Structure 1
Amino acid sequence: MKLILFNKPFQVMSQFSAHETRPTLADHLAIPGIYPAGRLDADSEGLMLLTDDGQLQHKISHPDHKEAKTYLVQVEGKPSADQLQRLSEPLNLGDFVTQPCEVKHIYAPDWLWPRNPPIRERADIPAAWLAITLKEGKNRQVRRMTAAVGLPTLRLIRSAIGPYSLASHPLLPGEWVELST
């Protein structure tokens, strides 16, 4: 059984099949028979797990198993205590209400790589970093949550899935490591 930790670069599609305009996982991983256990949007970066084991893939990615996923989120603005509280509680996003989650105001980790291209910087509007840990993962959920409380997402990096993290396996974008299972 193979378990691959991959640091998905910005603008790479979370698929092996060809895409009209963007690179895909196939441009970075030439390992036959592996499949992603979950997805990341093209404009999100960070940890993806890939495996050749269907049961493991299901356990990692299926919402019934509630595998915690941590995202590092650079937001526009300085978060208030009220905004952090609102993010951590069930939040009505219109088509669904989020589950409670863990939210912390953090400093950017020292292992974080610069994004290419860089995010837009505004001299008159501060930016801050949050660590958000969810046990669900609906489409564009983190971006929608931060926007709903007035903190638009500038950069989104998944840093951990369950016990696997980029902090303990520092990989640059496009790099991967195979773990023994």
Structure 2
Amino acid sequence: MDLSDWLTYRASGDDTRSLCTVVCKWAYLGHAHMEQMTNKDSAANAACGWDDVFWQEVGLEDLVEGNYAKIGRSVAFPGHPLGSGLTATTAKELGLLEGTPVGAALIDAHAGGVGVMEGVPQRLETTDFDDPLCTRMVLVSGTSTCHMAVSKRKIFIPGHHLQTQSQEG
């Protein structure tokens, strides 16, 4: 379990994983998750983006057991309310009210990437750029260091997956 998901689990007692963490860190197929959504049920769903063959090929077939109980049976969009909010224990530890809402996590670098939206200088907003938001990149430093940028297009390379390694703090 990634740190961000562990923190929401610790706070709420709900082990639902964030779509952000499982896609970015656990080889979860986000497009499969999106295909099961309906307009009325837009946030939390049973995990359907795990690839059994992948885990078996890399020698981790035990993760498939119990419908992926070890790495996530339920996946939610970042911000989706988890459980009944803060547990009594966590609320007491934090000095907050039991039941205070807890949302599914967002990886720190992705949360920092929101800075791209606020980082467009006014002088660019008045030029002929197609979309000034797509001309910016931020360097987010947290538990790792990441370059984050925004694009209007999804760029898929059939048969290929991105591998990533971070610079741990």
Query: Do these two structures clear the TM 0.5 threshold for a shared fold by scoring above it?
Result: no
Structure of larger gyration radius: 2
TM-score (norm 1): 0.23
* Larger relative strand fraction: 1
Question: Per chain length, whose mean CA-contact separation is higher, i.e. which structure has more relative contact order (CA < 8 Å, sep 6+)?
Answer: 1
TM-score (norm 2): 0.24
* Larger relative helix fraction: 2
